[in-house]
């Protein structure tokens, strides 16, 4: 614990914590649970959003269907993302769109689509090459195993069978009509079936692993912050506490200023661990004086440590979506809650791009409401992108969200691979097998209209019910309803008419999978773009560590949540070992 005289010297209230963890998300909850296994460790876990006490998480959080994001109480308000590259002289000229991030106990694991895919061995070779020694595949595999109880393959030594999080898959025989039709067409084209994509690093049609049972989401809040863990005398959990800035004595981090329900509070600890995610973690660092010096000075922030890499290296899995209205024989049964059934992992074989570099997730329903139950989607993602963006301050005021600029499709390799993925699935959608279970196929986008309809309210249920009735009308009426209500832009035929029309649509409509990473990355001490050493300690200061998706030097070829949990497990071990 920090000496009392240090706290008194700076005028801070001594609270006696060994560790304060900022952010109770996919990594922070794990670290809190693991550190408090040692009774002498006193841990305070702070969450900016609401608490979800065991049994009182909210039906939308517990549900294996992706619904929690459509309740504003579970997400950060006002976060906007710019997707296209920004001109240096006029960054506000590029439109920004809402970007959902979890702000609730469990963070992203409480609001995401519950996909549980590990990174691939080659992803971690990249991390080691970037300076993250000790993060190779052999180093991280035991933590992937530790976190899970795989209910399908628990007897496989490459899996865990006694971890906190239950992982399962929909059996191939249970895939609904739309998924089954797509899989049949892919099999006809030579794509093989992959039972377990977490241990079989090859291309093919895959059963998607999920962090859910048939009736319950497996968030880190549910699985790690159990009643037994919450009852530990050495753990305190506080919700609705927003971290405004870090407190320093020279270059030693000694505490944090938070905005709590009772007002502003200053909390002190021997070590501060930031687990606020790839957008909020760099913003907190920069507001506190750790980041690119010129940028901090521009916003009137006193520089504590000049670290050029803070906020840089932002990247995501860029995505584009093709969708189709389903016939009754294509629908998913109501009893099958989770939307994630299957996916295609594929290699572009483009230039120097690694294998397994694009991924198409198939959703047999796209939302909770009647219309969403009648729409299937193919979400094409470039899972090893080269484009990079940044998180930067708009203001030093902690109530103002940072600028989030992804610069997707800036690298032509990303653009070329997205075109390849979409062409493949346009052909799949035009196949007899898929047409037998669909009526109309169309390009989809995260428009403001769609986003508003997806917010879970009784009014939206009735609106979507009316829309679903219109979509069941004869062809001309259905197409008019589609054009007016759902997809007012160009048709698929128009988009795929030429290279130019396809490229223009991609650049206009490419978004992300809500997988931001990389903004406080691991690296070597002599690398000016690195922010952290391989133990997560921030270069240039003392007593400050980061553990969340921001630490990744490069994104994994997989949904990022399971890797964020793994990071929490491994960093907790490093701290326990005195690293």
Question: Which positions are catalytic?
Answer: 515
- Cβ atoms of residues 251 and 305 within 8 Å: yes
Q: Which of 395, 15, 544 is nearest to 236 (CA)?
A: 15
3-state SS, 61-93, equals: HHCCCCCHHHCHHHECCCCEEECCCCCCCCHHH
Distance CA 96, CA 118 (A): 31
Instruction: Specify the DSSP class assigned to residue 402.
Output: P
Is residue 289 classed as helix, strand or coil in its secondary structure?
coil
> Cβ–Cβ contacts within 10 Å for residue 433, how many?
17
Distance CA 380, CA 374 (A): 20
Packing angle, helices 499-509 and 412-429, rounded to 10: 110
Dig out the tokens for 164 from the structure.
């906190």
Instruction: Specify the DSSP class assigned to residue 108.
Output: G
| Paired strand residues for 263 | 260
Beta strand 375-382 with 209-210 is: unpaired
Dig out the tokens for 548 from the structure.
């969340």
Distance CA 577, CA 571 (A): 10
Distance CA 460, CA 450 (A): 11
Distance CA 484, CA 487 (A): 7
Q: Which of 186, 133, 143 is nearest to 424 (CA)?
A: 186
Max intra-chain CA distance, the chain: 78
Q: What share of the chain is helix, strand, coil (3-state, %, to 5)?
A: 30, 25, 45
- Cβ atoms of residues 359 and 120 within 8 Å: no
| Paired strand residues for 259 | 242, 264
Beta strand 17-22 with 263-274 is: parallel
Distance separating the N- and C-terminal Cα atoms of the chain: 16
């Amino acid at each position: 614990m920090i000496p009392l005289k240090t706290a008194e010297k700076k005028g801070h209230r001594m609270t006696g914590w060994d560790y304060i963890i900022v952010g109770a998300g996919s990594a922070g909850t794990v670290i809190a649970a693991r550190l408090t296994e040692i009774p002498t460790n006193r841990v305070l876990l702070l969450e900016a959003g609401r608490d979800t006490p065991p049994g009182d998480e909210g039906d939308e959080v517990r549900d294996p269907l992706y619904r929690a994001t459509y309740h504003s109480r579970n997400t950060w308000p006002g976060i906007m993302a710019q997707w296209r590259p920004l001109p240096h002289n006029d960054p506000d000229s590029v439109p920004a769109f809402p970007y959902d991030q979890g702000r609730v106990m469990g963070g992203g694991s409480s609001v995401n689509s519950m996909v549980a895919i590990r990174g691939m061995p080659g992803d971690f070779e990249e991390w080691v090459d970037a300076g993250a020694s000790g993060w190779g595949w052999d180093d991280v595999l035991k933590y992937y195993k530790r976190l899970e109880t795989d209910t399908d393959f628990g007897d496989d030594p490459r899996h865990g069978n006694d971890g906190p999080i239950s992982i399962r898959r929909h059996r191939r025989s249970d895939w609904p009509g739309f998924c089954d039709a797509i899989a049949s067409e892919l099999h006809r084209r030579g794509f093989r079936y992959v039972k377990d994509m977490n241990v079989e690093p090859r291309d093919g049609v895959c059963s998607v692993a999920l962090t859910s049972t048939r009736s319950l989401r497996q968030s880190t809040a549910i699985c790690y912050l159990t009643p037994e863990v919450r009852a530990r005398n050495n753990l305190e959990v506080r919700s609705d506490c927003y971290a405004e800035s870090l407190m320093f004595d020279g270059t030693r981090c000694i505490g944090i200023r938070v905005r709590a329900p009772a007002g502003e509070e200053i909390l002190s600890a021997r070590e501060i661990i930031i687990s606020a995610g790839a957008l909020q973690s760099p913003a907190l660092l920069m507001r506190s004086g750790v980041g690119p010096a010129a940028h901090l000075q521009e916003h009137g922030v006193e520089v504590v440590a000049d670290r050029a890499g803070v906020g840089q290296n932002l990247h995501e899995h860029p995505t584009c979506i093709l969708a189709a209205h389903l016939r009754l024989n294509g629908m998913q049964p109501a009893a099958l809650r989770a939307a994630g059934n299957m996916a295609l992992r594929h290699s572009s074989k483009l230039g120097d791009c690694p294998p397994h570099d694009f991924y198409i997730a198939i959703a047999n329903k796209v939302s909770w409401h009647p219309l969403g139950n009648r729409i299937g989607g193919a979400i094409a993602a470039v899972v090893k992108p080269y484009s990079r963006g940044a998180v930067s301050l708009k203001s030093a005021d902690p109530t103002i969200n940072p600028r989030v600029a992804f610069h997707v499709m800036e690298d032509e390799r990303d653009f070329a691979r997205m075109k390849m993925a979409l062409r493949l699935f346009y052909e799949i959608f035009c196949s007899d097998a898929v047409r037998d279970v669909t009526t109309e196929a169309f390009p989809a986008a995260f428009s403001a209209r769609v986003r508003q309809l997806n917010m879970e309210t009784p009014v939206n249920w009735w609106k979507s019910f009316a829309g679903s009735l219109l979509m069941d009308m004869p062809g001309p009426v259905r197409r008019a309803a589609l054009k007016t209500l759902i997809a007012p832009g160009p048709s698929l035929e128009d988009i795929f008419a030429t290279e130019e029309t396809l490229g223009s649509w991609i650049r206009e409509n490419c978004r992300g999978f809500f997988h931001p990473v990389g903004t406080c990355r691991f690296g070597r001490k002599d690398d000016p773009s690195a922010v952290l050493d391989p133990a997560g300690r921030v270069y240039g200061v003392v007593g400050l560590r980061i553990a969340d998706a921001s630490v990744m030097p490069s994104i994994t070829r997989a949904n990022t949540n399971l890797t964020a949990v793994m990071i929490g497990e491994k960093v907790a071990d490093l701290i326990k070992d005195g690293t």
